[in-house]
């Protein structure tokens, strides 16, 4: 059974930093592209970042470019999202999701972790 378990969310002050993790199990993690998608309270889905299976290339939404960094450790079956210079607009539930390739569908999702940026 595929399992994706996000952690690391919480309350952080504007301008602060946070690191999210996504522990994967039930599939060959190193063979799949991984993504972060967020959802602000009461809003729709918002693509954040995607990383290739090897971690050799990553892609980021314009809204987070230069502030967020996606990475992965295939030896630990774990995906990360390093978030810096956080603003209130980054407040959202952050989901990790797996896809066979960067361009393919997000076939499995975690349950999400809530990030709240507030003073």
Partner 1 sequence: SYVLTQPPSVSVAPGQTARITCGGNSIGRKRVHWYQQKAGQAPVLVVYDDSDRPSGIPERFSGSNSGNTATLTISRVEAGDEADYYCHVWDNSSDHGVFGGGTKLTVL
Binding site for partner 1 (CB under 8 A): 35, 37, 44-47, 50, 59, 61-62, 95, 102-112
Give Cα 106 distance to the centre of its chain. Answer: 12
Of 37 and 115, the one with the shorter C-beta distance to partner 1 is: 37
Of 16 and 109, the one with the shorter C-beta distance to partner 1 is: 109
Of 41 and 119, the one with the shorter C-beta distance to partner 1 is: 41
Question: What is the closest distance, in whole angstroms, from the C-beta atom of residue 16 to partner 1 in the complex?
Answer: 26
Bridge partner list, 60? 49
Give the list of residues 6+ apart from residue 92 with CB closer than 8 angstroms, or none.
38, 39, 40, 41, 43, 46, 114, 115
């Amino acid at each position: 059974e595929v399992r994706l378990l996000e952690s690391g969310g919480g309350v952080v002050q504007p301008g602060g930093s946070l690191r999210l993790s996504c522990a994967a199990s039930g599939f060959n993690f190193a063979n799949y592209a991984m993504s972060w998608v967020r959802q602000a309270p009461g809003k729709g889905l918002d693509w954040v970042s995607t990383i290739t299976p090897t971690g050799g290339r990553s892609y980021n939404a314009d809204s987070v470019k230069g502030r967020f960094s996606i990475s992965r450790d295939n030896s630990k079956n774990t995906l990360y999202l390093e978030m810096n210079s956080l603003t209130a607009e980054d407040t959202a539930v952050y989901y990790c999701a797996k896809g066979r390739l960067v361009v393919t569908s997000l076939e499995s999702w975690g349950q999400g972790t809530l990030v709240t940026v507030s003073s």
